[in-house]
Amino acid sequence: MVLSINAGSSSLKFALAKVLPGSAPVRTAHGLIEGIGTAPHMVVHDTKGHILNERHWDKTRQEDHDVFLTALFDWVDTQIGPDRLIGVGHRVVHGGQHFTKPVLVDAATLDLLEALVPLAPLHQPHNLAAIRAIRAVRPELPQVACFDTAFHAGQPAVATRFAIPRALAAEGVRRYGFHGLSYEYGARLLAQIDPDMASGRLVVAHLGNGASLCAIRDGQSIDTTMGFTALDGLMMGTRCGALDPGVILYLQQTKGLNAAQVQNLLYEQSGLLGVSGLSSDMRDLEARPDLPAACEAIALFVYRIVREAGALASVMGGLDGFAFTGGIGEHSAAVRADVCRGLSWRRT
């Protein structure tokens, strides 16, 4: 059995899968620990959606990953026995230039990944905290890091360069792209559902609290909207997306904001939350059609998707298919319909 983990700031998603020689892993259970830092709650479901285990904690600190992982491993041991778990796979957002495929984690790997924290401050610290917590409670258990940036590693150089001095580019200041694990899975699944579309010129929209688009041709990433960090590209739940760099200079030079304040504004106070003044959750905004600012936030979210999708279609020389994934992509029929209308390109 193997355990896969996606550790975030306030939640920890996981799945347990059976591994048989010569075949793909088969998921047997999945779950979520949410409310980390407030009122943590763990729930585990089987493949039919039945609850296998549920637990609540009193308020704990956000950094207490070891508490939750110990509880998770205790449950795993009761389900499968202490000796059947052969490894843990982790989603790690940023692999930088060093990691373009999954890697077995050791101390040196952790040090390299720690250096990338400034490039993904909302995600990387929590990804690494889970790895360290498991090393503390189960030091003998192999852990593998799988990177969101890896799927985009084969993009042409022209898609990854910034128009900055070459010395900075040589240091790794370039476009990496993210959500790669989602795109890789989506491309593989689409190849089973619609092989013709999957082998054509495809744009996939990963729409959630984090959002991006990826141009994929024959299962390979051609270009994507996120760049050096997970802040670029589309408007998101609390992140601004693509922004004129001059705005940052204005915030620092005219408004007097320091680097930490700018980071907080762009990562935590912008996006759907900043435009609507109400919420970063699309469900909350769609529930308030009477609130002009909420409607404006949704309209801007859709507009940016349509505009960036057009740019990616141009890079590929056309568009044969468009696929949605992520929480908003899955659950918001209205957003899907508005995006499709925007991409219809009908003559008026």
pLDDT tens profile 183-196 = 999 999 999 999 99
* Token reading at 126: 């929590």
Would you say residue 63 has pLDDT above 60?
A: no
* Token reading at 233: 């590209």
> How far apart are alpha carbons 91 and 94 in whole angstroms?
9
> Do both 214 and 301 map to the same domain?
yes
> Do both 102 and 218 map to the same domain?
no
> How far apart are alpha carbons 157 and 98 in whole angstroms?
16
pLDDT for 59: 67
Residue 60 pLDDT class (50, 70, 90 cuts): low
pLDDT digits (tens, 9 = 90+) for 103-143: 999 999 999 999 999 888 888 999 999 999 899 888 999 99
Q: Could you list the active site residues?
A: 148
Would you say residue 10 has pLDDT above 80?
A: no
> How far apart are alpha carbons 149 and 101 in whole angstroms?
9
Mean pLDDT, the chain, whole residue set: 93
Residue 70 pLDDT class (50, 70, 90 cuts): confident
pLDDT for 81: 81
pLDDT digits (tens, 9 = 90+) for 134-172: 998 889 999 999 999 999 999 999 999 999 999 999 999
pLDDT for 150: 96
Q: CB of 66 within 8 A of CB of 133?
A: yes
**Domain containing residue 6: CATH number:** 3.30.420.40
179: in domain? no
pLDDT for 61: 58
189: in domain? no
Q: Which of the 8 DSSP states describes residue 233? A: S
6: in domain? yes
pLDDT digits (tens, 9 = 90+) for 206-250: 999 999 999 999 999 999 999 999 999 999 999 999 999 999 999
More confident site: 75 or 246: 246
Could you list the residue range(s) of the whole structural domain that residue 231 is in? 198-342
177: in domain? no
159: in domain? no
pLDDT for 8: 81
> Do both 206 and 319 map to the same domain?
yes
Last residue within a domain, chosen from 117, 147, 177: 147
Q: CB of 41 within 8 A of CB of 33?
A: yes
Would you say residue 66 has pLDDT above 90?
A: no
pLDDT for 348: 56
pLDDT digits (tens, 9 = 90+) for 26-43: 999 999 998 877 788 999
321: in domain? yes
More confident site: 71 or 16: 16
pLDDT digits (tens, 9 = 90+) for 249-302: 999 999 999 999 999 999 999 999 999 999 999 999 999 999 999 999 999 999
> How far apart are alpha carbons 323 and 329 in whole angstroms?
9
96: in domain? yes
> How far apart are alpha carbons 101 and 211 in whole angstroms?
22
pLDDT for 192: 94
Helix and strand counts by DSSP (H, E) for the chain: 14, 12
More confident site: 346 or 101: 101
> Do both 219 and 326 map to the same domain?
yes
pLDDT for 347: 62
> Do both 113 and 232 map to the same domain?
no
pLDDT for 155: 96
Partners of residue 104 on adjacent β-strands? 144
pLDDT for 137: 85
> Do both 202 and 326 map to the same domain?
yes
> Do both 143 and 236 map to the same domain?
no
Q: How many domains does the chain have?
A: 2
User: Any idea which of 25-29, 63-67, 89-93, 322-326 has the lowest mean pLDDT?
Assistant: 63-67
259: in domain? yes
pLDDT for 264: 96
> Do both 223 and 282 map to the same domain?
yes
> Do both 128 and 211 map to the same domain?
no
